[in-house]
Structure 1
Amino acid sequence: MGSQDQAVHDNAEPTDVTVIGAGVIGIACALALSRRGLNVMVVDKQAPGMGASFGNAGHMATEQVFPIADASILKRLPGMLMDPMGPLRLDWRYLPKALPWFTRLLSNLRPTPYQASTSGLRALNEASLDAWRRLLDTVDGAHLLKQDGSFMVYERESSLTDLQTLKACMATQGVPVESWSGNAIRNVAPQLSESIHGGLFFPATGHVVDPLAVVQRLVTAAKSEGVTFCQDEVVSGHVHAQGVTLETTALGRLHCRQVLVACGAHSASLTAHLTGKRVPLDTERGYHLMLPGEQSRLPMAVTSLERRFIMTPMSDGLRLAGTVEFAGLKRPPNMERAWQLHRLSQGLFKTPLDTTEATPWMGFRPSLPDSLPVIDSAQDSRVLLAFGHHHLGLTQAAVTAEMIAGLATPGTPGAGATRCAPSTHNQALPELAPYRLDRF
């Protein structure tokens, strides 16, 4: 597009905030910003909710307070490279590019940074469900969230020690957790097989019945409150005295007083353009398999300890998810990994799952090596940042939106803040310090 065409599309009157990213985090933030009295536009090259938000496991994973890797990753590294169907896969062709990221990941396993990551995750997760309840109540969406807990089950007697260790670790972090026998679990989920010896129950978790419907409900509310949506790709931008100018592929230049980068795994380049800061953002390529014929198989989400995947009941079927692949943003998906999830389910139920009209999916989950997101403001608050939530994007979206709204509202602290983000709900939000951009 030439400069003359760009001039035609320049928005002469700047938007207060342009949100780049129409996933669940971007949309939740857009709605929260609008409710602070700001004029908001959302820009994404895809329709709202059609990226990683479409395919997430649907689990409100408040129990997952530990970083995405621990010391055992060192023992698993050969298998990650050699087994294309393993639960944690590193494509050997991507290894040179991924090596700096993994080096930082391993560095984070040292006691002090590991504990800092755990503390940061716990703070967000503890505030997450309350934030979701507040948000869904305002958009007539409470029925989309089921707060009935979740299970982690085990099948091998040798796994009991690992399970007990995990329970003890979670209890030290204040995670509500209970030990259940296999029979007690089958009383709640009777279609599970006798191979399950027992497991852990997490009462303070839940799941959504349709992740896309959650996003669509937020979009409808946002539009009704004046938020505008534009399907376009933002390729670069720069900050200046009047605000921010963004370059797009179709509309040319967009002007705004503030910009929010919330485009998940695609956020690194824009963050560098707008702040000059290079963030070590990589992507966990997540897969799921949706089984439309299994709408009544489970009453709640169930994770297998040994098989390392999760099964979540949804309004349109049963979703199998949880496999992770490190292969970057450009390689085509290996949908055999999605079908592998069905093979992993064999033996967990008294009768096999129905794969009639099953659909596989792959999406990009944004991951930072310390397992914490970036939630911050930069460039004198002209640039807001909300990305890097890895597989906790759905869980942490609503509380992230409240934190971003506090950062964007005039009079609240910007990038230099170390106190709690302000709240309009008489409840303090997590401290901003663990999620700041300048930690890298």
Structure 2
Amino acid sequence: MPDPSPSALTDADTIVVGAGLVGVTSALALARRGHRVRVLDRQAPGRGASYGNAGHLATEQVFPIADASILRALPGMLRDPMGPLRLDWKYLPRALPWLTRLVLNLRPAPFRASVAGLRALNERSLAAWQRLLASVDSAHLLRADGSLLVYEKPESHSKLAALESRMRAQQVPVERWEREAIRRAAPQLSTDLKGGLFFPATGHVLDPWRVVNTLVDAAKQEGVQFEQASVQSARLTDSGVALMTDAGEREASQVLIACGAHSAALTAQLTGKRVPLDTERGYHLMLPREHERLPFAVTSLERRFIMTPMETGLRLAGTVEFAGLVAPPNMARAWQLHRLSRGLFKTDLDAGDATPWMGFRPSLPDSLPIIDRLEHGRVLLAFGHHHLGLTQAAITAELIADLAGPAEGHPSTEPPDLPPRAPYRLSRFD
């Protein structure tokens, strides 16, 4: 089904701003509840952060993006441009309020609340993805084969044991693997690896961009319209919302803001609330000559990056940089991932024809997304998933569809098992 020209677009009940995984999955869920939906994005669907994510369904990651160790690591973050976690010193003044909130979230009560909110989403995420992909005859795009965290240094054993204990305390399925178990499951990994933790309730997708486009095609079949336009401003009206774009004004009875790291300004215009949203700049390196190296995603505990097998090769990802939305990418950080991989395999990975990438992950200081309904239903919010956008997209779409409810005259359906809404409300930042 070809994309309609702007002049052919019809009225919509709901405008979704953002054509990444969260926006597209939500648009499809809303259309299936009877809403007439239009999706606006300045880029083609899936060309932002959704294009380059690690492809890992990281349901095991139930802890916030930072703990108390970040305070000790801050000097190194400022000094080392190639470190796994980097803060651009020129960006520090702008990032300081966000970092202050992040540090305050390390206090016991808010930290526990973040863990509970992450766990509630993540433990439902894999099943939500399986439901969604099965509904579009694309279950094969997801491999629920688990993932592995490995360690190399004897002194890391106690750190791994502590992590295992924390995971078990949160009912995260985890298995301790010794060297022989790793050799049997992933024989191309180095025999120098000491062991690791295997997470059986995780998985990966074969190609994040293919997943997005599969869901776009399904959404179009449900009547969702896609328009490539940049939203410049927004205002509430008596009947809903009006969005000014570079292609003219667009009106609807409600809007869903799901444009990731670019969501704060529109949210402030429509709700009057400032959102403490910043961006993690994530890098990946795609190795198209590497197939059959790994059966599932593998993360290095010491080197702090992930390797995910995909149908187009092996993707190395995981580096994080705080430098805002304006500074140019430092692709040396992507190439650093190949250097980090050396020694993890019996033979080094082939970086021929490799391609680097950088994208913006929307991050909130408590590591929880905002999933909410405001202004008497005229404004829906779904953003701030940091590096769990892929993991949490399908369950977020189910929450958004439940918040919006069925369109008038459309039959109500029993929602799947959904987490409580309270942890994800915008009001938690009041």
User: If the TM-score is normalised by the length of the shorter chain, which range does it land in?
Assistant: over 0.9
- The DSSP-based 3-state class of the residue aligned with 2:126 is helix
- 2:30 is the alignment partner of 1:33: yes
* Residue number in structure 1 paired with 2:211: 214
Q: Is the 8 A contact 1:291 1:355 kept in 2?
A: yes
* Residue number in structure 2 paired with 1:361: 357
The CA deviation string for residues 66-96 of structure 1, in whole angstroms up to 9 with x for no partner, is 0000000011000000000000000000000
- 2:184 is the alignment partner of 1:159: no
* Residue number in structure 2 paired with 1:58: 55
The CA deviation string for residues 106-149 of structure 1, in whole angstroms up to 9 with x for no partner, is 00000000000000000000110111011001111100000000
- The DSSP-based 3-state class of the residue aligned with 1:290 is strand
* Residue number in structure 1 paired with 2:179: 182
- 2:10 is the alignment partner of 1:16: no
* Residue number in structure 2 paired with 1:383: 379
Of 400-409 and 113-122, deviating more is 400-409
Question: How do 1:290-301 and structure 2 match up within 5 A?
Answer: 290-301=286-297
* Residue number in structure 1 paired with 2:368: 372
* Residue number in structure 2 paired with 1:74: 71
Q: Is the 8 A contact 2:68 2:106 kept in 1?
A: yes
Q: Is the 8 A contact 1:381 1:408 kept in 2?
A: yes
* Residue number in structure 1 paired with 2:100: 103
- The DSSP-based 3-state class of the residue aligned with 2:236 is strand
Which segments of 5 or more consecutive residues in structure 1 lack a partner in the other structure?
1-8, 413-422
- The DSSP-based 3-state class of the residue aligned with 2:358 is strand
- The DSSP-based 3-state class of the residue aligned with 1:341 is helix
- Deviation at 1:280? 0.3
Q: Is the 8 A contact 2:9 2:225 kept in 1?
A: no
- Deviation at 1:195? 1.6
Number of corresponding residues: 421
Question: How do 1:266-281 and structure 2 match up within 5 A?
Answer: 266-281=262-277
* Residue number in structure 1 paired with 2:311: 315
Q: Which amino acid aligns with 1:214?
A: V
Give TM-score, length-normalised by structure 2.
0.96
* Residue number in structure 2 paired with 1:334: 330
Q: Which amino acid aligns with 2:310?
A: M
Q: Which amino acid aligns with 2:372?
A: D
- Deviation at 1:287? 0.1
- The DSSP-based 3-state class of the residue aligned with 1:15 is coil
Q: Is the 8 A contact 2:147 2:198 kept in 1?
A: yes
Q: Is the 8 A contact 1:154 1:198 kept in 2?
A: yes
* Residue number in structure 2 paired with 1:435: 424
In structure 1, what is the Cα distance between the partners aligned to 2:68 and 2:268? 31
- The DSSP-based 3-state class of the residue aligned with 1:334 is coil
In structure 1, what is the Cα distance between the partners aligned to 2:282 and 2:209? 16
- 2:396 is the alignment partner of 1:396: no
Which segments of 5 or more consecutive residues in structure 2 lack a partner in the other structure?
1-5
The CA deviation string for residues 7-58 of structure 1, in whole angstroms up to 9 with x for no partner, is xx89997410000000000000000000000000000000000000000000
In structure 2, what is the Cα distance between the partners aligned to 1:399 and 1:173? 19
- Deviation at 1:320? 0.2
* Residue number in structure 2 paired with 1:244: 241
In structure 2, what is the Cα distance between the partners aligned to 1:111 and 1:44? 39
The root-mean-square deviation of aligned C-alpha atoms, in Å, is: 1.5
In structure 2, what is the Cα distance between the partners aligned to 1:135 and 1:267? 25
In structure 2, what is the Cα distance between the partners aligned to 1:167 and 1:235? 46
- Deviation at 1:241? 1.3
In structure 2, what is the Cα distance between the partners aligned to 1:348 and 1:179? 19
In structure 2, what is the Cα distance between the partners aligned to 1:424 and 1:265? 32
In structure 1, what is the Cα distance between the partners aligned to 2:319 and 2:380? 31
In structure 2, what is the Cα distance between the partners aligned to 1:319 and 1:186? 21
In structure 2, what is the Cα distance between the partners aligned to 1:365 and 1:427? 27
* Residue number in structure 2 paired with 1:418: none
- 2:228 is the alignment partner of 1:231: yes
Using the aligned pairs only, state the percent identity. 68
